Structures are given as C-alpha cells and as structure tokens.
Structure 1
C-alpha cells in the first residue's frame, strides 16, 4: 500500500470520536488527501475542531500532510463565536426536547419534527445561516452545511448545558413559542377567550400568544418546573448581551 505515516494527537475533549484521550496516534495517509479529510476519516467532525497545528504551526484543513508531520487537533474554544450572521440554531429530528427548552429560554431554535433528510437539513442551515445541532456525525460532515455542532450527550439536561456553554446565546425567557419558534406577545383574556376552555378563562389572568401560529400560553400546571429550568440556566449562564428590539 502506498503512502506514509504521520502522527496525530487529538485533544482529550475529542476523545469520544476516536476512542482515546490525548494520545499520539500513527495514521497512514496517501500523500494526496487533505488534512481535514484525514481528521474526518479518524471520526472527528471538522465542526468540533478549533484548530489544526502541524509542527506547532496553525494549518488549514486543505493542507496535504507530508512525511514526518506531527499534527495537533484542538477542540473549539468555548464560548464559540460563529461569525457572519446572528446566532440561530437548526435542530434535527432527534433533538425535539432540546429545541423546546431552547425556545423556553428565548433562543431562536428551528426544528424539523420529521426526517427531511440530511441534504435538506444542510441546505436549510446554509440558506438561513443557522448552526445545525445534531448527534449525527455524517450529517455534520456535509459540505453544504453553513455551520454545525455535535451534541455530546443524549440527556436533554446535559444537552442544554452543552449548547448554552458552547455558544453563550442571549437568553430571553418566555419570549418564543415552544411549538413553532415564533415570537410571543402579551394578550388579554378577552383577546384569546375564543381559544380557551372555560376553566382556564376563570383561573388565569396573564396570557401570551404566538404572533405566528396563534397558540396561547399561560402559567399552567407545568410552569413551576419550567421556571426552575429557566432559573438554573440564568444562574449558570446569565442573560447574554442586550436584548434587541
């Protein structure tokens, strides 16, 4: 087999992708493929790479490795800044709970409730300039993707902390519809009376309504649990930045 070996050291934070933590690994390369391709072939999505260094020098993914190269694959810095557009997210079909929790916190989080396929998701990410969140490594390798991030846990509580810690989005709780991601506006009882059952009309005075889908919200039975989630998020991550109009 033609080619030669280089030595690649993957950051401990990326060990989940390669089955080891912070070890130097000999990797056989063909002398033609780019370093980015080599790293992805090892299992590490480039969305998770904060920098590639060869002999200690910062190197682009397009670089073609040479004999004797020693490569350092570093994780992304946190918080991670995504230039080029306001911070907005797109979540795949498997992250519905995370999408709803982000929306409760006022984070712009589009979500596909049906499986529309990887090409369509990546294309939507590019067209709307949204950071695609997924646990699918293959999806995160698609070239048409605008920006993406791997969600490291399968537990919603940890997923939320992961995304908030990585991207530090502005938190504006109770401003988005958990059903469609639209913005909420305050509403009087009379304005939404036709959409409420009699018991709800009599029991509550404060309402909000989605400007897009018209869904009505009030402080119902599950509100205390959501209040605690919001309080925990604000205590750990704070309200980032200044709310915009």
Structure 2
C-alpha cells in the first residue's frame, strides 16, 4: 500500500495481534486509497471478530469506511459482554477446542464441535448455515468472509478458555442438562430403563441416572463427578449467580 497515510492506535487488548512496533501508540499506516478501513485493520493482523468501535478523528465509522489521508484511527476491542444479534446464542468450536466444548456442554451451553478437521471453508459455512459463533485460535479462520460470527479464544488453558467465553458472551447456564459427548439434551432416566447399558458395579452402586436423547449415553455420579462438580460450581459462582450442585 502506498496511498493516503493514516495513523492508527490499537486498544491494549488487541496488541497480541499486531507487530510490536504498533503497540506503543499511534503509528503511521499507508493505505491504497480504495480499501475499506476493515480491510486495513485485518491486513495489520487483527480479525474483525475482535474489533469493537472504529473511531476516525473521534467519530465512529463502519468497517466500510474508506480512509482518507491524515485521518486518526482508534481501533477498540469488542465490548463485553458481547451481544450477538439474531439467533439464540450457540457456538461452533474447531478441532483444537474439544475440552472447551465439553466444559461448555457440561454447563448446558449449546456447543457444536468438529472432532475432525473439515477445513476452514466448511467450518465457516457451517457457522453461517446454523448461525453459530465460531470459536477458534486460528486467526486466518476468523477472517473468512463466510462466517456468521466468530471469536478468538485467547488462552491455551481450558479453564481460562472457559472463563473467557463465559465473560465475553454471558450465555445462560443450565448445568447437567446437555450431553458432553454429542451436545444433545439429557433426560432423567430410571435404572430399569438403562439397566442393560450399565456394568454390574454401576447398577449396584448408583440409583440416579440421566440419558442423552440422541446418542443414548448414560450419566451418573461416578468417581469423576467431584471434578466436574467443581467446574460447575466455579462457573456458576462467577457467571451464573449462584453455586450449583447436582447432576444425574
């Protein structure tokens, strides 16, 4: 780009996306005179999924704004909690976020997950077809035009990833209501109805069960329940209003 020069400043939350020399303050950017401001911002490394308001000389402009020479641009981070218009809040997670998907499902959040790499175009198209917010750590994927909505996951650690998503989108939490394996709703199940699906030791030791309405997987308070309950209690205490106990 060797057209009109503008000056951009990025919010601190966006510094991880831009080169180090653009993190200190307002820096000069040469444009081509025809590309939109949204394109310019993305060309500097920032997915538009992470951008909130764009201010030009103090006035908010759309991503379609064509920069003019001498303009001063402020690139703000997306506001939290983020409002997603249209469809009920639902998520789609890429192949690298399986643990996060299971934890969101544990909390009753609709979180579709692709356990195999179906490719960026297919993921972006699925996001648009089902109107799901695509969660990913792949910046290139989040820049695809087919996306309905998306969000960058800022941490490698599942516990931090979960907090990030819950803080950013404030989904309604309904623990123990969704299958962690396939994302379908659970229903209560009496022991007799699931007896043939249980090992003898499980039939002897437990009386309360839930079953997936789709894949028919059976759930009970097994040895792993205390760990899962801790995840639920922590999430509910911080994002759901009160601690929750229970489960099948």
TM-score range, shorter chain: over 0.9
Shift in Å at residue 32 of structure 1?
1.2
State the distance in 2 between where 1:69 and 1:189 align.
Answer: 69
Shift in Å at residue 170 of structure 1?
0.3
Is 2:74 the counterpart of 1:72?
Answer: yes
TM-score, structure 1 as length reference: 0.96
Partner in structure 1 of residue 221 of structure 2: 219
State the distance in 2 between where 1:73 and 1:60 align.
Answer: 11
Is 2:21 the counterpart of 1:18?
Answer: no
1:95 to 69, 78, 97: 97
Whether the aligned pair in 2 keeps the contact of 1:122 and 1:132 (CA below 8 Å) is: yes
Q: List runs of 5+ in structure 1 lacking aligned partners.
A: 241-245
Shift in Å at residue 2 of structure 1?
3.6
State the distance in 1 between where 2:169 and 2:241 align.
Answer: 13
Whether the aligned pair in 1 keeps the contact of 2:191 and 2:209 (CA below 8 Å) is: yes
The aligned runs of 1:73-152 (5 Å cut-off) are: 73-152=75-154
Whether the aligned pair in 1 keeps the contact of 2:2 and 2:30 (CA below 8 Å) is: no
Cα shift readout 1:13-70 (whole Å, capped 9, x = no counterpart): 1111014446211111111111000000110000000111100111111111100011
State the distance in 2 between where 1:239 and 1:213 align.
Answer: 31
Q: CA RMSD in A?
A: 1.2
Partner in structure 2 of residue 243 of structure 1: none
Whether the aligned pair in 2 keeps the contact of 1:140 and 1:149 (CA below 8 Å) is: yes
TM-score, structure 2 as length reference: 0.95
For 2:101, what is the secondary structure of its paired residue? Answer: helix
State the distance in 2 between where 1:65 and 1:22 align.
Answer: 22
Could you say if the C-alpha distance between residues 22 and 204 of structure 1 is closer, same or farther in structure 2, counting changes exceeding 3 Å?
A: farther
For 1:116, what is the secondary structure of its paired residue? Answer: coil
Whether the aligned pair in 1 keeps the contact of 2:5 and 2:28 (CA below 8 Å) is: yes
State the distance in 2 between where 1:169 and 1:22 align.
Answer: 34
Could you say if the C-alpha distance between residues 100 and 217 of structure 1 is closer, same or farther in structure 2, counting changes exceeding 3 Å?
A: same
State the distance in 1 between where 2:28 and 2:206 align.
Answer: 65
Partner in structure 1 of residue 230 of structure 2: 228
For 1:64, what is the secondary structure of its paired residue? Answer: coil
For 1:164, what is the secondary structure of its paired residue? Answer: helix
Is 2:209 the counterpart of 1:207?
Answer: yes
State the distance in 2 between where 1:76 and 1:18 align.
Answer: 16
State the distance in 2 between where 1:219 and 1:166 align.
Answer: 30
